[in-house]
Structures are given as C-alpha cells and as structure tokens.
Structure 1
Amino acid sequence: MLRLDAELNKDIIAELKKPLGQLYPDFEDAIERIKSSEFLISVGDATFTNLINHDIYPNLGIIDNLVQRKNYDHDVIHTENILKANNPAGTITEDLWETIGKALRLCDSGECYVIDVAGEEDLAVLPCILMAREDATILYGQPNEGLVVLNVSDNIIKAQKIIDAFIEE
C-alpha cells in the first residue's frame, strides 16, 4: 500500500490540491470537450452523477458513495458491471491498482464499468493516469471549484513523480 504522510509529503499534498488539468467552474462549459473524448474516466461521485444526468456514460466511473465526506446514495448507476475495491483515505492500495487495471481491460470490450470503493477514491486519478490509454480523458471534481478535465498523455510524468513521493507500507 502506498500512503501519503502529512509531514513528509507536504509539497506533494500541496501539488495535489492544484488541478492536474483544465478547471471548469461550470460543468456545462466542459460538455463539448467531454463528448469529444475517445475514452472517458470519471473519478468522484458528483462528477459521475453530473455525467449521467447529462446522458454521458463514462467508460469507467470510480465512486465511493461520498460527496465532500457526506454519504451519497447513487440512483443513477447505469451498468451492472460493478467492481469493488478497498482503499482507505490517503492511500492507494494494491486492491485499488488491481481493480482499476482489471476495469480498464474489461472496458476494452466496449462495456462501461463502475468501481465502488470502500474508503476513498480521491487518489484513484493517479493510477488511472498511469494505466489508462494515452488518449483517455479523466474527469474529477476540484472541491468547491469545479470540474477538472485532463488528458492522460499530458500527465504521465507528473503522476509518476507524485506516486514516487508516497511511502510504501
């Protein structure tokens, strides 16, 4: 398991608070770009719900049934292809890595998948960047700021640098 240590990783934590891609304060402003994506990954419950409410179905959605640490009950899940992963807050577990890898392979069949994370999905963006195809687009919410849209190919080196700063347990 990889873990962020608040004392040792102050710079990385500050870096993670900055958007890794383009920030859209209003979800609707990003719709055209989202719809033009070849392969779409959604990380976070609010982002996932916004997509579904706009009839946009990501190839892979990663949720934890929380929005800003408050319980969130999904009634919009559009697929029966649901995988489960355990991932405590502030970590990236081997289970999450493996589940994301499995889901990405399964998505190649053209079906959509959802990973339901027990714990926290926030850091799932990083393994997604490192494992997804380079033409993939990843969406995630920037708390109280809006939607971040990033291209995988533009963030591989940065994601690896951030992962390298984690502590292995």
Structure 2
Amino acid sequence: MLRLDAELNKDIIIELKKPLGKLYPDFEDAIDEIKSSEFLISVGDATFSNLIDHEIYPNLAIIDNLVQRKNYNHDVIHTENILKANNPAGTITDDLWETIGKALELCSNGECYVIDVAGEEDLAVLPCILMASEDTTILYGQPNEGLVILKVSDTINKAQTLIDAFIEE
C-alpha cells in the first residue's frame, strides 16, 4: 500500500491539489472533447453523474458514493459490471491497483465497468494514468473549480513523479 504522509509529502499534497490536465469550470464546455475520446475513464461521483446526465457512458468509472465527503447515492449506474475495491483516504492500496488493472482488461471487450470504492477514490487517477493506454482520456472533478480532462500520454511522467513520493507500507 502507498500512503501520503502529511508531514513528509507537503509538496506532493500541494501538487495533487493542482489540476493534472485542462480545467473546465463548466461541464458543458467540455462535452465535445469528452465525446471525442477513444477510451474514457471517470473518477469521482459528481463527474460520473454529470456524464450519465448527458448520456455519456465512460468505459470505466470509479466512485466512492461521496461528493465532497457527503454521502451520494447514484439512482442509476447503467451497468451490471460493478467491481469493488478497498482504499482508505490518503492511500493507494494494492486492492485498488489490482481492481483498476482488472477493470481495464475487462473494458477491452467494449462493456462499461464501475469500480465502487469503500473508502476514497480521489487518488485513483494516478494508477489510472500509469495503467491505461496512452490514448485514454481521464476525467475528474476539481473541488469547487470544475472538471479536469487529461490525456494519459501528457501526464504519465507527472503521475510517476507523484507516485514515487508516496511512502510504501
């Protein structure tokens, strides 16, 4: 398991609070770019919900049933393909890594998958960047700022640098 230590990782925590891609304050402004994606990963409940509201179905969605630490219930998930992973806040567990890897393999058949995380999914963006193909687009919410869209090919090195700063337990 990889863990962020608030004392040791102050600089990394600051970096993680910055968007890793292009920030769209208004979700609707990003729709054309989202629809042009070859393979789409959504991280976060509000992002997933916005996609579904616009009838856009990501290949992989990662949720934790929380929006800004408040319970969130998805009325309709639009897939029976739900995987579970445990991942406490501030960590990236082996279970999350393995579940993302399994989901990415399963998505290759064209079906959509959802990973329901017990704990927190915020840091799942990093393993997604490192494991997905380079033509993948990843979406996640930047709290109180909007939607971030990133291309894996543009962020692999940054993601690896961030992961390297975590503490292995």
TM-score normalized by the length of structure 2: 1.00
What is the deviation of 1:135? 0.1
Q: Contact (CA 8 Å) 1:100, 1:128: kept in 2 or not?
A: yes
1:127-159 Cα offsets, whole Å, 9 max, x none, are: 000000100000000000000000000000000
Question: Could you list the per-position Cα deviations for residues 100-122 of structure 1 after superposition, in whole angstroms to 9, with x for gaps in the alignment?
Answer: 00000000000000000000000
1:78 matched residue in structure 2: 78
CA distance in 1, matches of 2:26, 2:66: 21
SS in 2 for 1:144: coil
- For 2:63, the equivalent position in structure 1 comes to 63
Identify the residue that residue 30 of structure 2 maps to in structure 1: 30
1:74 aligns to what SS in structure 2? coil
The one-letter amino acid paired with 1:72 is Y
C-alpha distance in 2 between matches for 1:78 and 1:62: 13
Residue identity (%): 88
Query: Following TM superposition, where does structure 1 have runs of at least 4 consecutive aligned residues deviating by more than 3 angstroms?
Result: none
Question: C-alpha deviations, 1:53-85, integer Å up to 9, x for none?
Answer: 000000000000000000001112000000000
**Cα distance in 2, alignment partners of residues 156 and 47 from structure 1:** 22
Structure 2: gaps (5+ residues): none
Aligned position for 1:7:
7
Q: Quick check: 1:20 aligned with 2:36?
A: no
Per the alignment, residue 122 of structure 2 pairs with 122
SS of 1:6's equivalent in the other structure is: coil
Kindly tell me the number of residue pairs found equivalent between the two proteins. 169
Distance, in Å, in 2 between the alignment partners of 1:137 and 1:76 is 23
2:56 match: secondary structure: coil
TM-score if structure 1 supplies the norm length?
1.00
